Amino acid sequence: MRALVVYYSRSGVTRKACEAVAAALAKHEGVEAVVEELIDRTDRAGMTGWLSAGRDATLKRETEIEPVQADVGSFDLVVIGTPVWAFTCTPAARAFCEQFADDLERVAFVATMGGSGDRGAYELMERSCGTPPIATLSLIDRHVRGEDGDGYVAKVEAFAQELLGAGGSASGH
């Protein structure tokens, strides 16, 4: 089973969570997990970036991402990670979903957030991918930043198990 884990991360939380998901998947025999970060061509750094992030997410504005290196259609499973911005997903995650909708058959979503908004993120991602996720993982930013707040590591492990159990066992399909 080959899994691609792509994520957008502005401040590192979703990166940490998605790298943990990939590591949890790769622990299983017969599973290869490739990780790729999505790069938004719009600079979201600093206060100006924060403002543009909030505005663009709220208005559901489109953005351009740097070319994705992975051959997305060749993977058995694609896990897409995003922070929640303004109760929805990031423009970069949405851009990936729209760009590769035809290549995405089995998807799963990861959202990190301060408190809430994962449902709105998943709805927009599902619409943009054109397919529902086989599983989702929602995490609170401070739990991911800490060593193991709220048992987030166990949640990641359970998510990986769920992904492999949902028709994606290591023995292939």
Ligand X SMILES: Cc1cc2nc3c(=O)[nH]c(=O)nc-3n(C[C@H](O)[C@H](O)[C@H](O)COP(=O)(O)O)c2cc1C
Letter for the amino acid at 160?
A: A
Q: Does 122 bind ligand X (CB under 6 A)?
A: no
CA distance 49 to 107: 29
- Give dist(CA 127, CA 95) in Å, integer: 12
User: Does residue 50 belong to the site contacting ligand X (CB under 6 A)?
Assistant: yes
- Is residue 53 near ligand X by the rule CB under 6 A? yes
Cβ proximity to ligand X: between 46 and 115 the closer is 115
Find the part of the chain contacting ligand X (CB under 6 A) among 26-34, 78-86, 98-106, 152-160.
78-86
32-37 sheet: strands from edge to edge: 32-37, 2-7, 77-83, 107-113, 133-140
> Quick one: which of 65, 104, 108, 113 contacts ligand X (CB under 6 A)?
113
CB of 4 to ligand X, least distance (A): 18
Strand pairing partners for 111? 82, 138
Sole binder of ligand X in the list 14, 63, 136, 138 (CB under 6 A): 14
**Cα dihedral: 10, 65, 72, 22 (round 10):** -10
Candidates 10, 28, 119, 127; binder of ligand X (CB under 6 A) is 10
Residues forming the site for ligand X (CB under 6 A): 9-15, 50, 53-54, 83-87, 112-117, 141
